[in-house]
Amino acid sequence: MLDGVMLLWFILTALSVLYVAIDIVSTPEANVMKWGFVILTCFAGPLGAFFYVLGCREPLPGTHEQYVSARWRQVLGSTMHCAAGDGLGIVVGAAIGSVLNLGMAVDITLEYVIGFGFGWLFFQAFAMRDMAGGVYLKSLRMTFIPEFFSMNILMVGMLMVSKFWMPAVEGSGSPASPAFWFIMSIALVAGFLCAYPMNWWLVSRHLKHGMMTVRPKAAASMPEGHAGHEGHDMKDMKAMKDMDMSGEYAGHDMKGMKAMDMSDEHAGHDMKDMKDMKGMDSSGEHAGHDMSTMDSSGPRKPGAGVLFGMGLFSVVMLAIAVAVVLSLAPRG
């Protein structure tokens, strides 16, 4: 029975990864988020593809900014980023621990170290360093707290599934077995669901980013509605070039051009656009980033006491999960 379920799961996963990897190329999202969805789909299969379509895929051209602005989609992106980076490290740690035949406590420690290390040092701080002005050390400081909180809760969900399920399935403790990857995939989905509420808190307190919108520089530097004016202006210039400037028409046209009011709403609009373009960040892939997706509504960033309390909560939850696994989980 389980073999049939796993076969169906792996077939659906392969199709889902293929779909997401191809379709996400045209989605105006940050590259790290694109890779995150591909990695998540490698483990979450059709659920990963569902999360991508539901939370990130642009339904119509030019609507991505508005589409991903909903709080629950922002949190979905934040949780996905955590599950992809930390989760991949945890799975790699579990595979290494299995090959080395490590004890349960050492295996859990290895999973946590690799998961947190990869998720924080690379997938968060390095990949998102543009949001810290390109300074890696600053990015490390900015991302440590949200990464630590989210990682702890993600690990809780993964431990409770993988460490209790693997001993019950013969051969699943070895990375050479398909059952190992199937169980770790379901464990990652469980960790994702557990980490979602924590990421909601982090995003709503402006401690963590969610979905973003990144468009090509040419499209990003073109203010909304300006493309139509540009085409119209080019057409008018061509018509003026072809215009016969001799005789009475020349005088008539010069008179009309002289009477043109350059301070009308279009001139004001262009000056406003130039001012906006001047302030636009033109460096890196985030040149087209829609900052409106960074939700500024809701509570302000919490104080040190609240942060300590939430951090303590995440640590206690993880400690309880580890204690339960070490005391109750059967040994394979």
Interval 10-18 mean pLDDT: 98
pLDDT band at 6 (very low <50, low <70, confident <90, very high): very high
- Taking each helix axis as running N to C, give the angle between helix 71-99 and helix 104-117, from 0 to 180 degrees, rounded to the nearest 10: 130
In a domain, 197, yes or no: yes
Give how many domains the chain has, as a whole number.
1
Answer whether residue 265 shows pLDDT above 90: no
pLDDT band at 332 (very low <50, low <70, confident <90, very high): low
**Residue 67 near residue 59, CB atoms below 8 Å:** yes
Interval 144-159 mean pLDDT: 97
pLDDT band at 105 (very low <50, low <70, confident <90, very high): very high
In a domain, 278, yes or no: no
In a domain, 283, yes or no: no
Helices then strands, counting H and E runs in the chain, come out as 13, 0
In a domain, 114, yes or no: yes
In a domain, 39, yes or no: yes
CB atoms within 10 A of CB 173: 19
Residue 253: burial class (beta carbons within 10 Å; 0-12, 13-18, 19+): middle
In a domain, 168, yes or no: yes
Answer whether residue 214 shows pLDDT above 70: yes
In a domain, 233, yes or no: no
- Position 218 scores a pLDDT of 57
In a domain, 63, yes or no: yes
Which domain covers residue 109, as residue numbers?
6-216+290-328
Question: In this predicted model, what pLDDT tens digit does every residue of 118-140 receive, in sequence order?
Answer: 999 999 999 889 888 999 999 99
Q: Supply the pTM of this predicted model.
A: 0.77
Interval 161-186 mean pLDDT: 95
